[in-house]
Amino acid sequence: MRFAVVVFPGSNCDADMVHAIEDVLGEEVDYVWHEADDLNDYDAILLPGGFSYGDYLRSGAIARFSPIMNQVKKAAEEGKLVLGVCNGFQILLEAGLLPGAMKRNDNLQFVCSIETIIVENNQTPFTLEYEKGEEIQIPIAHGEGNYYCDERLLEELQANQQIVFRYKRNPNGSVNDIAGIINKQGNVLGMMPHPERAVSELLGSADGKRLFQSILRYWRERYEV
């Protein structure tokens, strides 16, 4: 399986993401600069955390216009897996690949901690290696992680089982304790917690490793590799 890690000006978790794929998962991965115009050679697209374009205007608001995003949308439409973590989640929201919006944390402060995350849906390509209702330890680090949607959209997300992760102790004010959501088609996931920073017990948790293992399992089963 071949992964692309998209790098925007200001990305700072790209190396962590590459480490998770190359050194932990043992699969092929490339850094792909945001000005690239071709993602055809990749099976999964990863948008890492950081501060794309310095988070000017809103987090992800400028990165959504990068040339690579047309290819990310194309890949998503083709059914390829797309994962956006932290700033990557914000970019997916700004680009319209996921519904809802992101606001500043309700305490107006940057939060950095290891949080207990509840797996709400383990029937996605990203969560096959987890149990439904399982509590996992994944770090967060963000200033704008307060996920917002109106009541109508929340009902839709719940009805379609698009809420994949919830916080056990909400650290940012997100509606319904939402930590991660998926699109209706089930191939685009956005989450604020950083699974790439939880791939070894040396880092405080290895619970994020199974997210990447789930991606690989899904791909192998789908293409009978």
Q: Give the CATH number of the domain where residue 93 resides.
A: 3.40.50.880
- Using alpha carbons, select from 53, 72, 61 the residue that is nearest to residue 6: 72
Q: Specify whether the CB–CB gap between 60 and 87 falls below 8 A.
A: yes
Q: So which residues are the catalytic ones?
A: 86, 194, 196
Residuewise pLDDT in 10s, the chain (225 residues): 999 999 999 999 999 999 999 999 999 999 999 999 999 999 999 999 999 999 988 899 999 999 999 999 999 999 999 999 999 999 999 999 999 999 999 999 999 999 999 999 999 999 999 999 999 999 999 999 999 999 999 999 999 999 999 999 999 999 999 999 999 999 999 999 999 999 999 989 999 999 999 999 999 999 887
Rounded Cα distance between 104 and 147, Å, is: 9
Which 8-state DSSP code applies to residue 195? Answer: G
Tokens for 105, please give them.
């944390």
Number of helices (H) and strands (E), helices first, in the chain? 5, 11
Name the E strands within the chain: 2-7, 28-33, 44-47, 81-85, 101-103, 111-119, 135-142, 146-148, 163-167, 178-182, 188-191
Count of other CB atoms within 10 angstroms of residue 23: 11
Q: What's the pLDDT score for residue 224?
A: 80
Q: Which of 186, 166, 156, 211 lies closest to 81 in space, CA to CA?
A: 186
25 neighbors 216 (Cβ within 8 angstroms)? yes
Domain that holds residue 26: 2-223
Cβ distance 91 to 50 under 8 Å?
no
Extract the tokens encoding 69: 């995003």
Helix/strand/coil for 193: coil
pTM: 0.97
Q: What is the total count of domains within the chain?
A: 1
